[in-house]
């Protein structure tokens, strides 16, 4: 590939990103409300209301608010990735075929799919950062956050956000638009509740079969990764297992997502 052509592809790729960012900037209020509403209610009920009425609890030697923060950040990343890719694709692949306008840009069709994943990763990172102030404003007991390794925090945030975008691409490119709601009910919600969001993976040792079964769930590694870098005092997986699983999830889900995207666009 010639240098001029590479520059043309890069310019086209970032042109799509700028276009999507411009659209997002017009909807920042709705985006923020969508992201913070569910975590805010979780924090309010489980870390403010219950302790106030004498129903406080600890998990793994830490207060529940400290355990919950990384998990809710993982949920925000997950749902932002799906909302940023799967839901728009369900519309673009619909009757209007808006996707045809997007693939007219001077990029390989697969690169258009990759841009969607990258842009959704930006949304997911913003969503995760929006959760942090809630953890300091709402809980009745202080959240104990300590970032020992900023590089690992950045790496895990990036990988988790890309994985969530790849999940959104896989769903949006392989599921019929009218079935997206069903996927949320039978796939997304269950894997969220079984994604070590509300409890550390290590505590599942008491239910050994479930502890092994959830290892196929990518949200587990998002939650455990953020738990490892933000609340190292809480039991968590080791970095090698987390990074390896996120990379494998990203490769596998990107492959299935891009393959489905090409099938939808090219036929």
149 or 163, greater pLDDT: 163
Query: Does residue 264 register a pLDDT over 90?
Result: no
Q: Give the model confidence (pLDDT) of 95-109 as tens digits.
A: 666 776 776 777 788
Q: How many percent of the chain have pLDDT more than 90?
A: 36
DSSP symbols for the chain? --HHHHHHHHHHHHHHHHHHHHHHHTTHHHHHHHHHHHHHHHIIIIIIIHHHTT---EETTEEHHHHHHHHHHHHHHHHHHHHHHHHHHHHHTSTT-THHHHTTSSS-HHHHHHHHHHHHHHHHHHHHHHHHHHHHHS-SS------S-HHHHHHHHHHHHHHHHHHHHHHHHHS-GGGHHHHIIIIIHHHHHTTTSSS-GGGGGGGHHHHHHGGG-HHHHHHHHHHHHH-TTS----HHHHHHHHHHHHHHHHHHHHHHHHHHHH-
In the chain, what are the domain boundaries? 3-266
Q: Give the model confidence (pLDDT) of 15-25 as tens digits.
A: 777 877 787 78
Q: Which of 89-103, 152-166, 173-187, 213-227 has the lowest mean pLDDT?
A: 89-103
Q: What confidence category does residue 6 fall into, taking pLDDT thresholds of 50, 70 and 90?
A: low
């Amino acid at each position: 590939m010639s240098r001029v052509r590479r520059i043309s592809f890069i310019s086209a790729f970032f042109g799509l990103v700028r276009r999507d960012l411009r659209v997002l900037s017009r909807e920042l209020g709705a985006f923020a409300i969508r992201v913070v509403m569910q975590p805010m209610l979780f924090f309010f009920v489980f870390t403010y209301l219950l302790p106030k009425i004498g129903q406080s609890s600890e998990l793994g030697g830490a207060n529940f608010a400290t355990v919950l923060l990384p998990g809710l950040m993982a949920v925000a990343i997950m749902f932002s990735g799906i909302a940023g890719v799967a839901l728009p694709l369900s519309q673009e692949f619909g009757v209007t075929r808006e996707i045809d306008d997007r693939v007219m840009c001077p990029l390989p069709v697969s690169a258009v799919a990759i841009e969607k994943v990258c842009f959704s990763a930006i949304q997911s990172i913003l969503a995760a950062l929006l959760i942090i102030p809630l953890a300091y404003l709402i809980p009745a007991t202080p959240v104990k956050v300590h970032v020992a390794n900023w590089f690992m925090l950045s790496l895990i945030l990036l990988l988790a956000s890309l994985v969530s975008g790849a999940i959104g691409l896989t769903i949006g490119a392989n599921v019929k638009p009218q079935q997206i709601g069903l996927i949320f009910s039978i796939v997304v919600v269950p894997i969220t509740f079984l994604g070590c969001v509300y409890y550390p993976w290590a505590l599942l040792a008491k239910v050994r079969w479930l502890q092994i079964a959830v290892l196929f769930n990518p949200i587990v590694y998002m939650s455990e990764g953020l738990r490892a870098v933000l609340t190292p005092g809480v039991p968590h997986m080791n970095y090698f297992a987390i990074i390896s699983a996120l990379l494998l999830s990203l490769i596998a889900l990107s492959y299935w997502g891009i393959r489905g995207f090409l099938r939808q666009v090219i036929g």
